């Protein structure tokens, strides 16, 4: 279920739907605590007080987000990073824990003499085994740990170094790309990025795939200009659509 909500910034188009969601959860007899992570948390708490959300069926906590703010879960963590918008704004990186190294069958079979079978599966899962009176640990047959997947979402932002830093080698970067290059002046004034600028960030950060998001309504009928401008810089580019799903494959 939904237990954490991460807000990038407090422009109404990015959080106004929150209030109806909170009330619906209460009407559906939610009992578990809900934590909202947001910049300007004091303002958000004030709104909740005004709307009487202290009477919800569940505990509602609001936590202040700052650069490098981190929330750890079982298999991954969410790290906030400060972006560059016209109000305080943060993106979020979802960083998966390291995975165990690859199973070295040659070492297991030829060097340690362990026959193929169920014992291989235990070692590959990270379990120690006993073989011919000796304890064989996973470290003896597994390679170096492999990094997990990383997904970065910028929210509304101008291009900035902090995005490049946290997006290094990301598997997926979802970046503000509100305008085409001919409207760059307006992008600067409104605190957004062009598709070309997003592609330049992706290229410098060496990400695998770039998804352009926060597309201006002026491109609702034809967003090809954004795609074309981005692909002149970076080849693996998609444009986000409502309800889009995307498989993030493990790095090698």
What positions carry a catalytic annotation? 13
Are the CB atoms for 40 and 63 separated by under 8 Å? no
93 closest CA partner among 12, 160, 149:
149
Compute the distance between CA of residue 71 and CA of residue 77 in angstroms, rounded to an integer. 6
User: DSSP string of 134-180?
Assistant: EEE-GGGTB-S-B---EEEE--S-B--HHHHHHHTT-SEEEEE--B-
Cross-strand bridge partners of residue 213: 176
> For 236, which DSSP code?
S
179 closest CA partner among 192, 166, 170, 189:
192
Interacting residues of 234 by C-beta distance below 8 A, sequence separation 6+: 199, 200, 202, 203, 210
């Amino acid at each position: 279920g939904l237990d954490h909500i991460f807000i990038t910034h407090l422009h109404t188009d990015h959080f106004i739907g929150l209030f109806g969601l909170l009330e619906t959860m209460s009407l559906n007899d939610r009992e578990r605590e809900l934590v909202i992570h947001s910049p300007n948390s004091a303002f958000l708490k004030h709104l909740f007080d005004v709307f009487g959300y202290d009477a919800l069926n569940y505990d509602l906590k609001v936590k202040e987000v700052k650069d490098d703010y981190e929330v750890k879960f079982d298999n991954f963590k969410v790290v906030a990073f400060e972006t560059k918008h016209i109000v305080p704004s943060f993106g979020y990186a979802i960083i998966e824990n390291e995975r165990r190294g690859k199973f070295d069958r040659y070492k297991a079979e030829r060097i340690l003499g362990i026959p193929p079978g169920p014992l291989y599966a235990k070692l590959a899962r990270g379990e120690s085994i006993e073989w011919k009176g000796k304890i064989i640990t996973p470290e003896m047959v597994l390679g170096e740990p492999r990094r997990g997947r990383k997904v970065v979402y910028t929210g509304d932002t101008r291009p900035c170094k902090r995005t490049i830093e946290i997006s290094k080698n990301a598997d997926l970067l979802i970046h503000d790309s509100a305008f085409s290059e001919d409207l760059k002046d307006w992008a600067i004034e409104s605190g957004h990025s062009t598709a070309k600028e997003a592609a330049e960030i992706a290229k410098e950060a060496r990400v695998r795939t770039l998804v352009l998001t926060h597309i201006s309504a002026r491109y609702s009928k034809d967003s090809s200009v954004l795609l074309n401008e981005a692909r002149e810089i970076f080849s693996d580019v998609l444009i986000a659509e409502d309800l889009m799903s995307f498989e993030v494959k493990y790095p090698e």
